[in-house]
Structure 1
């Protein structure tokens, strides 16, 4: 009998209906709605990859819910991350479409990321080093208008003082460190996930139609 679950998370079945509902709510529409025999194979392949992609988003949400419970964080009110939200293109580029979609749709994933960010400690020396190595980001508007070369030791008046930008730099570095911690957590958390046939990771090299970009 074909499994009625998309994956097993710590032995608990994640119903295929979760993936189907998420996909029907959030998958792009239009392309492939009217399929001819000529492009039926391409449509079927696209649908498989969309299903695998959606499975990863749902699994990430389910894993994040368990992580939040283990950390004593308030549970999300919704049962599934079903709201259709806009995913910033920069997030897709920085995070990959799976994690970007999970963070956009899953309150649990966002809560976990926020908790990880609160745990990050950025040493003062690292913050100062970032400021010193990225002077181009801290030129004053007047210096930019004059075309000051940020890579040629700009004069102190041409850059925002460290004290004025220090907190913003630290926050940016904490945010980046939290994202890396989220990636590490997710890699560990889904290592033992068992997928039903047709719901494997879209980048799984054991699959004949795997994709590295997802």
Structure 2
């Protein structure tokens, strides 16, 4: 088997990084039949390669964004250090990753560079005042006063009392900025991995070019 899992801008990404992630994340599948277990492990290796590639791409993006290289990321992008850095197993809260899909969710859990990049993208999002107020107006059910909630008031009835916009404005802006940051992260990722070349056996689990592909979140 090749020593590399993928090539990013012509530079190899070691399969050792994939193996380290596989050791850190227990298998979900509990297959017992030999052929089913072999298939599950092949898919798990492909899944882990995607996570490692996202980490590699995020490290490079952090390096490009920082005037001192990757100083703003918690991991450095300096060849050997990137190859041997430890894989962490600190998972984010389920509510924070439920809409991301398993590959991106695990990448954010295990890659400090990916988390840092996402945080940068979130901070860069500008939310117009009109957008925040429009969200408040369209989601009145989220802003009923406790008294109105207790009596089961219709949030869209003109006489129902809402929490004042000024009181909830900051939370709305943070939520919209977070959503916009995630969209920006996915846009970045689609562009960044378009030219990644995967070694045989490390393709995306959903890649239809291999016979046992699947797409699972």
TM over 0.5: yes
Q: Which runs of 5+ in 1 are unaligned?
A: none
1:192 aligned to 2:191?
A: no
Mapped contact 1:81–1:105 kept (Cα < 8 A): no
**Offset at 1:88?**
3.3
- Higher fraction of helix: 1
Counterpart of 2:79 in structure 1 is none
Alignment partner for residue 149 of structure 2, among 123, 127, 144? 144
Counterpart of 1:69 in structure 2 is 63
Counterpart of 1:13 in structure 2 is 12
Structural mapping, 1:1-214, within 5 Å:
2-28=1-27, 31-32=30-31, 35=32, 39-72=33-66, 74-77=72-75, 79=82, 80=85, 82-155=87-160, 158-214=161-217
**1:149 & 1:164 partners in 2: Cα distance?**
21
Q: Which runs of 5+ in 2 are unaligned?
A: 77-81
**1:53 & 1:102 partners in 2: Cα distance?**
10
> How large is the Cα RMSD of the aligned pairs?
1.8
| TM-score normalized with structure 2 length | 0.89
> How many residue pairs were aligned?
206
Q: Residues 89 and 115 of structure 1: is their aligned pair in 2 closer, same or farther, counting only changes over 3 Å? A: same
**Offset at 1:209?**
1.7
Mapped contact 2:7–2:198 kept (Cα < 8 A): yes
**Offset at 1:180?**
0.3
Partner SS for 2:98: helix
